[in-house]
Amino acid sequence: MLIIYLNGVSLNYARIYYYMGVIQMGTFIQAVDGTQIYVEDVGSGQPVVMLHGWPANNNMFEYQKNALLDAGYRYIGVDYRGYGKSDAPASGYDYATMASDIDQVITQLELKDAALLGFSMGGGIALRYLLNHGSSKISKLILAGAAAPVFTQREGYPYGMTKDEVDDLIADTRKDRPAMLEGFGKIFFEQEHSEPLTQWFHNLSVAASSHGTILSAIALRDEDLRDELPQIDVETLIIHGKKDKVCPFEFAEEMQKAIPNSRIEPFEESGHGTVLDEREKFNDTLLAFLK
């Protein structure tokens, strides 16, 4: 594997991958604890930082990336630690650590006036980033099917899975992760998609580390952002499928109540996977919000 150091700086470098005869180059950013975080940095113009859902990687935004590049934006797709091409350390899968990783990406790439999009678990991480690191480099926030303000049911919050159901998901992951992912995929989309496309999406999740998948599922189960959401101070668009079986639409309503300067764009024909269920509407809505 060839490693190129850019400008003599070891914290931000590029690796070239040979995959199925195609050369692929991506940037790696070093996190505070030394973990190497893979970033796909393509295009120019205003940066749009894309945070993927559990347990995929930034490639889930393939069709959004194409639309952003066509419209003249800079696509910044991040693979969390434990996912995609990033390192997979034994720890650091809580929202605060992953938000710190995102802060290092934004800081080391010297991003300014960036839009931040968080899908599903990425929505929780995006919110934690803004709460912990501020909004000086972020101009707009997009929460798409966000697993927030809380993913699991608790007192005063009767929405989503129970903690026991997430524990069962974790147990299934330990027993037969590919089978768990196949079952999870069956509730992910509302619309019918081709077998090659659903297999491609499944493969994104299979590529994740098993321990990263488990430990971030624990974070999903336990994190609670309700009391802090009023501190979010950037314009926020909430995209949410009305037929979402993973993060029910009530999540969007709770976020809209708590986040100042936010609005909901309901996707009537989408499940959790709005990026593919109503792909053209998603892209058009995103681009209109970015203008």
Mean per-residue pLDDT, 165-175:
98
In angstroms, the CA 250 to CA 153 distance is 12
Percent pLDDT > 90 in the chain is 91
User: Residue 153 has which token pair?
Assistant: 């049911």
Residue 252 DSSP label: H
In angstroms, the CA 11 to CA 13 distance is 6
Mean per-residue pLDDT, 263-276:
98
In angstroms, the CA 282 to CA 135 distance is 24
pTM of the entire predicted model: 0.92
User: Residue 259 has which token pair?
Assistant: 């986040």
Which CATH code for domain 32-290?
Answer: 3.40.50.1820
Q: Is the pLDDT of residue 1 over 50?
A: no
Centre a 10 Å sphere on the Cβ of residue 56 and count the other Cβ atoms it contains. Answer: 27
User: Residue 228 has which token pair?
Assistant: 């802090």
In this prediction, residue 8 carries a pLDDT of 39
pLDDT digits (tens, 9 = 90+) for 7-49: 433 344 444 443 333 334 579 999 999 999 999 999 999 999 9
pLDDT digits (tens, 9 = 90+) for 215-240: 999 999 999 999 999 999 999 999 99
Which active-site residues does the annotation give?
A: 120, 244, 272
**Chain position carrying tokens 């619309």:** 191
User: Residue 266 has which token pair?
Assistant: 């309901």
pLDDT digits (tens, 9 = 90+) for 86-144: 999 999 999 999 999 999 999 999 999 999 999 999 999 999 999 999 999 999 999 99
In this prediction, residue 26 carries a pLDDT of 77
In angstroms, the CA 77 to CA 57 distance is 9
